[in-house]
């Protein structure tokens, strides 16, 4: 049986590319639907190739190293969390994406694009995320500032770009790979992107493997995420968390919480702690109502 990777999927048809770069349009066997498995871009599959005008079939999906529902992708090793001055950044989205990456052993990278418009946001994000250990790059797809650093950081990875519509994901990927993609202006009226990219696609060019994804603004926490697990995905809290009076401490309402104190003294980013509490409350609510 032939082997390849899904590089695109739409309307029940999947484009699969094999090791020598040949592409096939395939359908997925019914058994996947019965087993409640959706083939994802990034999946490694075994397939029976196209015969004549007939589409071939995806027969098996090989075990996934990583898997995400939003964006729905498989086997990525790096997540580029993209933000920009315009549209206005949503840091809770950034923190949710970080949570997802840490939970799946995917290497996160934060890029602040459009620094040609103004440099302040990139500086603020670098400070706020400093203690997380996550690399933050200041970039401009327009002037090419910082693009060499991004290219270097992506070497050897299967990289997925994610973030709000209009931050410049497709523009960055075009600049990196030279492959032409559709990009869209920010709506001046609502100051938001226009959801230009409609489908996830995997692009392999010039030694890079990169997934472009449609922008989104809402991201649910993973169903199976236990509220207590969230704090384990905050490396910026760990230097203080062992000094909390309670162990374990959720750093929410507990007295003598060292993380709370560190944030009030400016040692931990206060915004990170406030958003953590918001996510914790969302997860607790979800957990309480999970059998409703
Ligand atoms: N000034 C400036 N504008 C940029 C930069 N990068 C992208 N843009 C513009 O931002 C707009 C949105 O870019 P896209 O690449 O379509 O954004 P996207 O993140 O792919 O958006 P969706 O596909 O809707 O999720 C376009 O008008 C780009 O030209 C940049 O570095 N500086
Ligand atoms: Mg796009
Ligand atoms: Zn605490």
Name every residue whose Cβ is closer than 8 Å to that of residue 257 and which is 6 or more positions away in sequence: 244, 245, 246, 249, 251
Percent with pLDDT over 70 in the chain: 100
**Residue 185 alpha carbon, nearest atom of ligand 1:** 27
Whether 278 shows a pLDDT value over 80: the answer reads yes
**Poorest-pLDDT segment among 37-46, 160-169, 171-180, 214-223:** 214-223
- Residues within 6 Å of ligand 1 by CB: 113-114, 116-117, 140-142, 165-171, 183-186, 193-197, 214-215
Give the integer Cα–Cα distance in Å for 15 and 23: 6
**Residue 161 alpha carbon, nearest atom of ligand 1:** 19
Looking at residue 226, its pLDDT comes to: 87
Higher pLDDT, residue 3 or 53: 3
Q: For 51-92, what is each residue's pLDDT tens digit?
A: 777 889 999 999 999 988 878 999 999 999 999 999 999 999
Looking at residue 159, its pLDDT comes to: 98
Q: For 228-256, what is each residue's pLDDT tens digit?
A: 999 999 999 999 999 999 989 999 999 99
Looking at residue 71, its pLDDT comes to: 87
Q: For 96-133, what is each residue's pLDDT tens digit?
A: 999 999 988 899 999 999 999 999 999 999 999 999 99
Looking at residue 155, its pLDDT comes to: 96
- Indicate the pairing of strand 158-162 with strand 208-212: parallel
Judge if pTM exceeds 0.85.
yes
Q: 127: buried, middle or exposed (CB in 10 Å: 19+, 13-18, 0-12)? A: exposed
Task: Tell me the domains of the chain and their CATH numbers.
Answer: 2-63 (2.40.50.140), 68-212 (3.40.50.300), 227-288 (1.10.40.50)
Give the H or E element holding residue 225: none
Q: Is 255 helix (H, G, I), strand (E, B) or coil?
A: coil
**Residue 214 alpha carbon, nearest atom of ligand 1:** 25
What value does the mean pLDDT of the chain take? 93
Mean pLDDT of the 149-171 span: 97
Whether 186 shows a pLDDT value over 80: the answer reads yes
Looking at residue 199, its pLDDT comes to: 93
- Indicate the pairing of strand 13-18 with strand 23-28: antiparallel
């Amino acid at each position: 049986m032939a082997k390849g990777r899904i590089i695109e999927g739409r309307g029940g048809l999947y484009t699969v590319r094999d090791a020598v770069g040949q592409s096939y349009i395939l359908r997925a066997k019914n058994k996947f639907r019965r087993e409640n498995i959706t083939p994802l871009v990034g999946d490694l599959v075994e397939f029976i190739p196209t015969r004549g005008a007939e589409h071939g079939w995806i027969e098996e999906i090989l075990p996934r190293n990583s898997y995400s529902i939003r964006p729905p992708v498989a086997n990525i090793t790096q997540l580029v969390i993209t933000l920009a001055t315009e549209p206005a950044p949503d840091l809770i989205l950034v923190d949710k994406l970080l949570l997802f990456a840490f939970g799946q052993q995917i290497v996160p990278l934060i890029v602040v694009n459009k620094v040609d418009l103004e440099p302040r946001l990139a500086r603020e994000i670098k400070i706020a995320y400093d203690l997380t250990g996550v690399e933050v790059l200041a970039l401009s797809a327009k002037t090419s500032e910082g693009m060499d650093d991004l290219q270097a950081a992506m070497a050897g990875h299967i990289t997925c770009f994610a973030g709000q519509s209009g931050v410049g994901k497709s523009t960055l990927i075009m600049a990196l790979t030279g492959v032409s993609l559709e990009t869209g202006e920010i709506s001046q009226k609502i100051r938001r992107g226009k959801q230009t990219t409609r489908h996830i696609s995997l692009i392999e060019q010039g030694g890079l493997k990169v997934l472009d994804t449609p922008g989104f603004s809402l991201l649910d926490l993973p169903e199976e995420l236990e509220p207590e697990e969230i704090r384990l995905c905050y490396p910026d809290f760990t230097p203080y968390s062992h000094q909390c009076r309670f162990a374990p401490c959720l750093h929410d309402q507990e007295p003598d919480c060292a993380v709370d104190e560190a944030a009030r003294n400016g040692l931990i980013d206060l915004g990170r702690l406030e958003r953590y509490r918001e996510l914790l409350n969302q997860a607790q609510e979800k957990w309480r109502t999970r059998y409703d």
